[in-house]
Amino acid sequence: MIQRIYTKKIFVGDVAVGGDSPISTQSMTYTNTHDVEATVAQIKRLHFAGCDIVRCAVPDMEDALALKSIKEQIELPLVADIHFNHKLALIAAESVDCIRINPGNIGSKQKVAEVVKACQQRNIPIRIGVNAGSLEKEF
């Protein structure tokens, strides 16, 4: 039998993650986030299928600004997946339940600190994601 490693419980919206919480299911949309109608429709289908948390890519300002309208129309906790531009995370933090960043591609420590401060002010968690494309070759 696999034993879970105890972690600190946090909340993404109203979904508990970690600790002794039930395992939650997260999925990511494949629509252009700024296409609010298509993104909301896809999120509603994911919710119907049993998804607990949904993540949307936020590659540009148009996507970041669309998050508010999306959040108003859905019931699932919303995670903004931010790459390269910390200003998108600052805008997203005003509307979403969680921010996902890769500190290696956000830029300076100061930019990461700005994102952390914005999330602290709203009491929303930050998911740290790292992938091979943002690591030095020796790692």
- Tens-of-pLDDT digits for all 139 residues of the chain? 788 888 999 999 999 999 999 999 999 999 999 999 999 999 999 999 999 999 999 999 999 999 999 999 999 999 999 988 999 999 999 999 999 998 778 878 899 999 999 999 999 999 988 766 655 566 5
Residue 53 DSSP class: E
Instruction: Look at the pTM and tell me if it is higher than 0.85.
Output: yes
Query: Which pairing describes strands 15-17 and 10-12: parallel, antiparallel, or unpaired?
Result: antiparallel
Domain residue limits at 118: 27-131
23 class by beta-carbon count within 10 Å (0-12 exposed, 13-18 middle, 19+ buried): exposed
Q: Tell me if 101 is assigned to some domain.
A: yes
Q: Tell me if 109 is assigned to some domain.
A: yes
Residue written as token pair 């994911």: 46
Residue 76: give its domain's CATH number. 3.20.20.20
Q: What is the pLDDT at residue 3?
A: 84
Q: Tell me if 138 is assigned to some domain.
A: no
User: Structurally, how many domains does the chain consist of?
Assistant: 1
Question: For residue 76, which of 60, 55, 53 has the smallest C-alpha distance?
Answer: 53
Residue type, 77: P
Q: Tell me if 106 is assigned to some domain.
A: yes
Q: Tell me if 119 is assigned to some domain.
A: yes
Q: Tell me if 14 is assigned to some domain.
A: no
Q: What is the pLDDT at residue 110?
A: 93
Q: Tell me if 1 is assigned to some domain.
A: no
Q: Tell me if 49 is assigned to some domain.
A: yes
